[in-house]
Amino acid sequence: MTQAATATMNDSTQQALENRLLAPRFYRTNYKALNSVDISPVRREWDSMMAAFAEDKNRAHFKQTYDFDPTSLDVDPALKSDFLDLLVSSITAEYSGCVLYQEIEKNVDNADVATLMRYMARDESRHAGFINRALKQLGVAVDLSVLKSDKDYHYFSPKFIYYATYLSEKIGYARYITIYRHLQRNPENQFHPIFSWFERWCNDEYAHGEAFALLMRSEPKLLRGYNKLWIRFFLLAVYSTMYIRDHSRPKLYEAFGMNITEFDYTVFDITTEISKQVFPLTLNTDDPRFRAGLEKMLRLSNRSEALREAGGMMSLIKRGGLAVASAATFARLFFLPVNKNKLPDQILAAPAW
């Protein structure tokens, strides 16, 4: 990208393009390997799910508009900053999924995989578009074409896509439904209309996770042997990333009237319970050592961010030391005892959390 193009790009697009450690990323995968996917072991559930995707009950949901005075956020610049950070992070994650699923559909011959990816891309495109309309109303819409062409792409093998996508969709469900229910009980804390869409939005998240649960259950080796270590890794990576991200937005949760830590552990509890449908293990997030470890990772991340903003060679060196400390803390968390889980005969119906 030229310097002139960068200079004219708004802050939201520049933020979406950043490749910080905890920022949402864009991915590519082994498309050829996906041609060998055989969903025969879960055919009945798969066909039922594809029929539900085809019915598309949410087709009109994200076309709705709302009235909102964007200047109402100007009275609290810190809240506005946290809210914009949430929206930009969310649109980056949603659009990342959309692009990945479109690429998979375009590059595979497996009809089952292609059909699912078409539905997934459709839904993620709607979500990204809806968030961008909210950003446009605030005068900072993300240029999705620039995001697609200029964002760095990272390679993930198909099984890593399964683990990461399943968890991100389920944790998205847990986050949306928890925020929605809280604001239903405390409507005075709903400072923007977009949160009214979270109930039906989370239904999409839940359904997407179910589809990836079926993909994993169609290939049981992904849930056995050394792959259990990868499952443990992704559980910890997703939980710790969410914990650090959420604690970087204190004004947002203050406006909600929510305690950030309590919110995160509620989301962990919901996600853990749901994930028993497919994962042979869950993390013990009630273990005091787990909670202390997340707090240490948060402190290290905050110190690293402060040094990054300060700049300079010494800050860079110190950040390297903090990165080593963070990796060591992550490793200690990784080796904490986990809860073993016996998989049910079929995936669970959507719970009424």
Which tens digit of pLDDT belongs to each residue from 180-207? 999 999 999 999 999 998 988 888 999 9
Over residues 57-97, the pLDDT tens digits come to 888 888 777 788 889 999 999 999 999 999 999 999 999 99
Q: Note the pLDDT of residue 2.
A: 42
Instruction: Find, among 57, 65, 58, the residue nearest to 193 by Cα.
Output: 65
Q: Residue 11: is its pLDDT beyond 90?
A: no
Q: Which two tokens stand for residue 137?
A: 């109303």
Which domains are seen in the chain, by residue range?
A: 3-283 (1.10.620)
According to DSSP, the β-strands at 26-28 and 153-155 are: parallel
- Tell me how far apart the alpha carbons of residues 338 and 340 are, in angstroms, rounded to a whole number: 6
Length of the chain: 353
This prediction has a pTM of: 0.91
- The pLDDT tens digits of the residues spanning 239-293 come to 999 999 999 999 999 999 999 999 999 999 999 999 999 999 999 999 999 999 9
Mean pLDDT of the chain: 90
- Average pLDDT over every residue of 7-19: 73
pLDDT for residue 345:
64
pLDDT band at 310 (very low <50, low <70, confident <90, very high): confident
> What pLDDT is stored for residue 90 in this prediction?
92
pLDDT at 151: 85
Residues 106-114 have a mean pLDDT of 96
Say if residues 150 and 143 touch (Cβ distance below 8 Å). Answer: no
**CA triple 163-109-26, angle to 5 deg:** 40
Specify whether the CB–CB gap between 135 and 171 falls below 8 A: no
Helix, strand, coil content of the chain in percent (nearest 5): 75, 5, 25
Per-residue pLDDT averaged across 137-141, rounded? 89
Confidence of residue 6 (pLDDT cuts 50, 70, 90): very low
Q: Is the pLDDT of residue 350 over 90?
A: no
User: What pLDDT sits at residue 315?
Assistant: 87
Return d(Cα 97, Cα 107) in angstroms, integer.
15
pLDDT at residue 5, rounded to an integer: 42
Q: Which of 15, 21, 1, 7 is nearest to 240 (CA)?
A: 21
Rounded Cα–Cα distance for residues 340 and 281 (Å): 4
Q: Which one-letter DSSP state was computed for residue 257? A: T
